[in-house]
Amino acid sequence: MTQTATLLDGKAVAAKVRGEVKERAAAFAARHGRAPGLAVVQVGTDPASSVYVRSKRKACEETGIRSFAHDLPAGVGRGELLALVVRLNADPAVDGILMQLPLPAGLDANEIMDTIDPRKDVDGFHPQNTGLLAQKRPRLRPCTPFGVIRLAQEYGMKLRGLRATVVGASNIVGRPMALELLLAGCTVTVCHTGTRDLAAEVERAELVVAAVGRPGMVRGGWIREGASVFDVGINRTESGKLVGDVEFETAAQRAGAITPVPGGLGPMTIAMLLSNTLDAADAIAQGRGR
C-alpha cells in the first residue's frame, strides 16, 4: 500500500508562527524602545543540548528577539546558578528565561526551575504555570505540547471529543500534552512504563502523541485507520539518521495525518518558544500576571 496520510508540515507552520512573532517583536520594539529579550542558559556541553540552544539563539535573531547567551561550565555551583537566575529575573531587558535541560547531575533541576520568575518562564515548566494549565486557565504553556495544538489547529483538526493517547508521561512533554488535549476537549489516556498493554491503548486512539525518545516504540501497525499521529521523538540512529518514536513508513499507510521527523514538532517547539517570549514580554509590559 502507498502512503495516504497527510504530512503535517511543522516546518511550514513554524515559519508562519515565526512571521507573526517577527511582526509582534517589531511592534514591541516600536512601543517600548527595546527589543523583547530571551536569556538562554546552558550548563555544560551536552552535544544535543548545544544543538538545540544554537537553534534557539539563531531563531531569536531572525525574529527580532534579543538573545542573551549564558554558557556555564558543568561544574558550576548551585549558588552561582541560582544567583544568575535571580539576576535575570530582575533584569528589565530579559522577558523570558530558558534553562536548557537536562542540567548536570549534582544540580537540583526542580530548585533551579522553581526560582525562575513564572512571568518569565517561557518553557511553561514552573509549577504555577503547570497549575494554571491544569485549571484550564493557561498562561505560559510548554512549547512542544502547545506546538502540537497549534499544528492541529492550522490543519483545521477538530479535537473536541477525540480519543487521544499520549505515549510518555514526562514533565516536559507527556504530562502537559495530556493537559492540553484535555483543554481541547479530548478524552485522554496517558501511557507510561507501568502501562500493561500499550498496543491496545494506541489502537483505539484517534489522535496519538508519541514522546518517549525511543525509535520505533510505537509500531505502525497499532495506528488506527485515519488517526492523527504527532511524533515528538527525535532520535539519532547508529547510521546518523534522525527518526521519531513512531515506525513512520507503516504508520503513514494507516494514519490520516502524520508529522515527519525531522520537520514536524522540532521546528514547532522553537516557534512556540519565540511566541511565548512575546506573550511574556507583552504581559510584563502591561503589568499582568503574578
11 belongs to the catalytic site:
no
- Can you tell me whether residue 288 is helix, strand or coil? coil
Give the nearest distance from C-beta 105 to ligand GUN in angstroms: 15
| Per-position x/- string for 69-108, each x denoting binding to ligand GUN as judged by CB under 6 A, each - no binding | -----------------------------xxxx-------
**Quick one: 143 or 280, whose CB is closer to ligand GUN?**
143
| Concatenated DSSP letters of 82-145 | HHHHHHHHH-TT--EEEE-SSPPTTS-HHHHHHHS-GGG-TT--SHHHHHHHHTT--SS--HHH
Q: Do you find a cis peptide bond into 102, omega within 30 degrees of 0?
A: yes
| Concatenated DSSP letters of 137-204 | --SS--HHHHHHHHHHHHTT---TT-EEEEE---TTTHHHHHHHHHHTT-EEEEE-TT-S-HHHHHHT
**What is the residue type of 127?**
P
Selected binder of ligand GUN within 95, 117, 121, 123 (CB under 6 A): 123
**Quick one: 100 or 277, whose CB is closer to ligand GUN?**
100
Give the nearest distance from C-beta 252 to ligand GUN in angstroms: 25
- Are the CB atoms for 167 and 198 separated by under 8 Å? yes
**Quick one: 99 or 177, whose CB is closer to ligand GUN?**
99
**Quick one: 88 or 172, whose CB is closer to ligand GUN?**
172
Give the nearest distance from C-beta 56 to ligand GUN in angstroms: 9
Give the nearest distance from C-beta 257 to ligand GUN in angstroms: 23
Choice among 42, 95, 100, 279 that is catalytic: 100
Give the nearest distance from C-beta 253 to ligand GUN in angstroms: 30
Spatial CB neighbours of 33, under 8 Å, sequence gap ≥ 6: none
Give the nearest distance from C-beta 229 to ligand GUN in angstroms: 20
Contact set for ligand GUN, span 169-198 (CB under 6 A): 172
**Quick one: 130 or 252, whose CB is closer to ligand GUN?**
130
253 belongs to the catalytic site:
no
Q: Which residue has the cell 529579550?
A: 37
Choice among 95, 121, 123, 231 that is catalytic: 123
Phi-psi group of 162: left, alpha or beta (phi > 0 → left; psi -120 to 50 → alpha; rest → beta): beta
Selected binder of ligand GUN within 133, 143, 151, 268 (CB under 6 A): 143
| Per-position x/- string for 153-172, each x denoting binding to ligand GUN as judged by CB under 6 A, each - no binding | -------------------x
d(CA 126, CA 105): 20
Residue number closest to ligand GUN, CB atom: 101
By the rule CB under 6 A, 218 interacts with ligand GUN: no
CA diameter of the chain: 59
d(CA 124, CA 130): 7
123 belongs to the catalytic site:
yes
Strand partners of residue 191: 167
Q: Which residues bind ligand GUN (CB under 6 A)?
A: 98-101, 123, 143-144, 172
